[in-house]
Amino acid sequence: MFDETPVLGRSESTELVKNKVMRNTYALLGLSLVPTVIGAFIGMTMNFTFAAQHPFIFAIGSLVVLYGLFAAINANRNSSVGVVLLLGLTFLLGLMLGPILQHALQLRNGGQIVGLAAGGTGVIFLTLAGIATTTKKDFSFMGKFLLVGIILLIIASLANIFLQIPAMALALSAIGVLLFSGFILYDVSRIVNGGETNYVMATLSLYMSIYNLFTSLLHLLMGLMGGDD
């Protein structure tokens, strides 16, 4: 299904390499949505009482597991094992959508909110990916800013688990939408301009940007539009 990870050579132009990475990345990204959806459906049937009772422990534990999988995928990025691990990660992340989807769908207009979040994520991704691809502008300068932003967002989100300030949660969701939109622009730009030549790692970065954009947008819409029955 996927071409082998391209390596620059005399018989292959740089442009052809970029096209291969882009094509493989989008193919694997589309495939990764399958285990995500399956995981999300299973997650909606699970009991997340522990997560609700111990949100900080659950959040830290989740981060440890996720970063362990990130490291494993990176170590196997040039083999089919990396693809399998990536698909396993997307299934796990689908499961982790369970609590927020359960909560969203209990709201009066929960189905509409989830639909708007999914549709909005798709529109933002297609728009920004289109901009990065057609203009071929190098957005690598955003890297340091985005890295600092994500670190601050994680710290603030962990802090708000204890503070439980609704206005802060809403603000963090809005910042997350902007931040992960920036990551999509940055990720696609790196592929287009040859900054990332491994489609497994390119897919991982782009998938995480889209996933976090969706969850941030869903939280934001729930805060703005949500209403109990």
pLDDT in tens, 94-133: 999 998 999 999 998 999 999 999 999 999 999 999 999 9
Using a 10 angstrom Cβ sphere, with 0-12 exposed, 13-18 middle and 19 or more buried, the burial of residue 191 is buried
Flag whether 194 is in a domain. yes
Flag whether 19 is in a domain. yes
Flag whether 204 is in a domain. yes
Q: Residue 14: which pLDDT band, with cuts at 50, 70 and 90?
A: confident
| Structural domains counted in the chain | 1
Q: Residue 1: which pLDDT band, with cuts at 50, 70 and 90?
A: low
20-41 pLDDT, tens digit each: 889 999 999 999 999 999 999 9
- Mean of the per-residue pLDDT values of the chain: 89
| Residue 125 confidence (pLDDT) | 96
Flag whether 156 is in a domain. yes
**What CA–CA distances, in Å, run from 114 to 34, 47, 138, 219, 221?**
18, 20, 33, 10, 8
Flag whether 1 is in a domain. no
Flag whether 3 is in a domain. no
* CA dihedral (172, 177, 180, 182) positive or negative: negative
Domain around 164: 14-225
Flag whether 126 is in a domain. yes
Lowest mean pLDDT among 39-43, 57-61, 63-67, 175-179: 57-61
Flag whether 7 is in a domain. no
